[in-house]
Amino acid sequence: MGENTHEKDTRDLRQVIGSLRALRRRARLLLVTRRVTLLLTGLLLALILLGVTDYVFRLPRSLRIFHWFTGVGIILFLAWRYLLPGLRFCPRLTDLALRIEEREPDLRGYLASAIDFAEHGDGTRPGQEGLSAGLVQGVLRRAGELWSSLSVRHVLDRGGVIQATSFLTLAVALGAILYATASGMWLIGAQRQAWPFQDASWPRRTGVADATTLEFHPRGTALPLQAEVTRANRPMDEMNVAVRYRYVNEDGATQPRRELLTWQGRAGGDASGAIFERLVETSGETIEYRFETDDDATPWRRIKLIEPPAIVGARARLTPPAYAQQATTSEQAAWTRTAEVDLGPGADERAVAPTVLAGTRVDMTVDLIKPVDIPADARQAILEVDPEASFEAAGSTWTLAWTLNASTRMPLRLVDEYGIESVDDATYRFEAVQDRPAEATMTRPVTDQDVLPTAVVELAAEGRDDVGLSWIGIEQAMARPAEAAPGSEPSGPGGAMEPRGEPQVIARIEVDGRRQSDLVHELDLSVLSLRPGDEVYIAALATDIYRATSTA
């Protein structure tokens, strides 16, 4: 009878141990389930939060990749810190029994002791060999009876799993609502966060296009960069349109700069957007830029910065006409002597050449900072005064030669091969004056005189010219009262006169290019066979070297 009772108690104890082992497996499953559920909930909420943040702020790829690696690191850490210990959860049955005794007071003192006795085959533990077999059997029997009446389902606390599952359900519901509201956006956000290495982009809320048409621009002058907003999410005057630019030269590129553009308040060429503009300084060889809005950007584009053409300086050789070089003096040295003049860059008072005589030869040399063709306006201005003018452009030097037959104004607006114009216009002026005829005056006698036919009259003539005289002289002409008609009286004083012979030069001297000269001569009337009433007319003559040369 006692042996049968012992076998029954042993069998009941095995059932208890088997139940505890099953309970331990269930506890491990609940623990792992709860932790996995919480981890999935956190991951899903993090993806939703990052997706919404990315939609609002358009996070750059680099930041999203950083988030991805950070998230993977956190997941691995949590798996190592929480999931792995959960999978390894395997407490001793005695410890599990003690935890159950804390929840079930009726088992206190029996369940853990029975498990402890069962783990030692003889029913004793070291140091407790003196325990009676009856006491051990009593503990085993009582533990089996109490366990059989216990509902194991109530031993495990499923509240944590239920709570974690609720959180996951709410997170899934939130994701489902977002998906139902905007499935396309949801998928884009999921792609951008779950795998940021692929090229997934949000639909643009703004659009910007490059409205700058320049390919070349003069270095050193402000460059107008224009952008056209093709799509806006706010009023134009509140749009943030920026340009990011940098200068590129043979040494590399500078650090990028970012400047905001100003709305110009007018539509673009196709009237579909608005123009924004920013003036930027120019340096270096090339400027590289792009326009940016909150979520859009244009491709990088380059504008080559060209040194604008400019005149370094100009000089001219003014060679007067050959006849003028015979003059000994003149009003201006350039009228009679070859002169070298500095005309400067054409933007100051040096650009006005000294006044010269018409017919002066001009040999002009213009030095430039780089090769440029001679402007058509300059050619035309010179050809108008000398159709046989010559022009030569060799590298960065021009050579122009023409005869200055009249005053001319030569504008020079330089344009290089890129269409870049000079910053400052240059204008050169050449003034030419015509050689005036010589002037001759009788200085003695001052007035008409009545003299005897045998008198000797002192004559004096003066000649003047703006360049130089060739000669001066005195001309004589005679007249006699007109013969009376038959039957009438001869003409008296103040009456009609008849010429007597041809006028003749009675005195002349060569002047040799002087501008002023005098001639003195004594006129002996006795040799002229004059009679009372005759008149002698005296006139001064002068010829300048220009007309003397032309006549010859």
CB contact burial 248-283 (16+ within 10 A = b; e otherwise): beeeeeeeeeeeebebeeeebeeeebbbbbbebebe
Helix crossing, 183-194 with 159-181: angle to 10°?
Answer: 120
What is d(CA 198, CA 191) in angstroms, rounded to the nearest whole number? 8
What is d(CA 115, CA 113) in angstroms, rounded to the nearest whole number? 5
| Ordered per-residue pLDDT tens for the chain, 552 residues | 454 555 655 666 677 777 778 878 888 888 899 999 999 999 999 999 999 998 888 888 899 999 999 999 999 999 999 888 888 888 877 777 677 776 666 666 556 666 766 665 544 444 444 455 555 555 556 656 556 556 555 667 788 889 999 999 999 999 999 899 988 888 988 999 888 888 888 888 899 999 999 999 999 899 999 999 998 888 998 899 999 999 998 888 889 999 999 998 865 554 456 899 999 999 889 999 999 998 889 999 999 999 999 999 999 999 988 887 777 765 555 677 888 999 999 999 999 999 888 889 999 999 999 999 999 999 999 999 999 999 999 999 999 999 999 999 999 999 999 999 998 889 999 999 888 888 899 999 988 888 988 889 999 999 888 787 888 999 999 998 877 555 555 555 666 788 888 899 989 988 877 878 898 999 888 888 888 888 999 999 988 877 765 443
Q: Does domain 207-306 have CATH number 2.102.10.10?
A: no
Q: Scan for tokens 């389902």, then name that residue.
A: 153
Nearest of 318, 339, 357 to residue 546 by alpha carbon? 357
533 conformational bin, left if phi > 0, alpha if psi -120 to 50, beta if neither: left
User: What architecture (CATH level 2) is domain 311-433?
Assistant: Sandwich (2.60)
For the purposes of burial, counting CB atoms within 10 Å of the CB of 235, is it exposed (0-12), middle (13-18) or buried (19 or more)?
exposed
Q: Scan for tokens 């709305």, then name that residue.
A: 263
For the record, the structure tokens of 472 come out as: 């001066």
- Residue spans of the domains in the chain: they are 2-176, 207-306, 311-433, 439-551
Pick the CATH number of 439-551 from 1.10.10, 2.60.40, 1.10.287, 1.10.8: 2.60.40
State whether residue 397 is helix, strand or coil.
Answer: strand
Structural contact between residues 404 and 382, judged by C-beta atoms closer than 8 angstroms: no
Structural contact between residues 471 and 548, judged by C-beta atoms closer than 8 angstroms: yes
Q: Please, what is the end-to-end C-alpha distance for the chain in angstroms?
A: 175
Structural contact between residues 389 and 370, judged by C-beta atoms closer than 8 angstroms: no
Length of the chain: 552
Q: Scan for tokens 């009856």, then name that residue.
A: 134
What is d(CA 500, CA 493) in angstroms, rounded to the nearest whole number? 17
What is d(CA 225, CA 140) in angstroms, rounded to the nearest whole number? 93
Instruction: Examine domains 207-306 and 439-551 and report if their fold is the same.
Output: yes
What values do phi and psi take at 322, rounded to 5? Answer: -60, -40
- DSSP letter assigned to residue 154: G
Using a cut of 0.75, tell me whether the model's pTM lies above it: no
What is d(CA 328, CA 23) in angstroms, rounded to the nearest whole number? 136
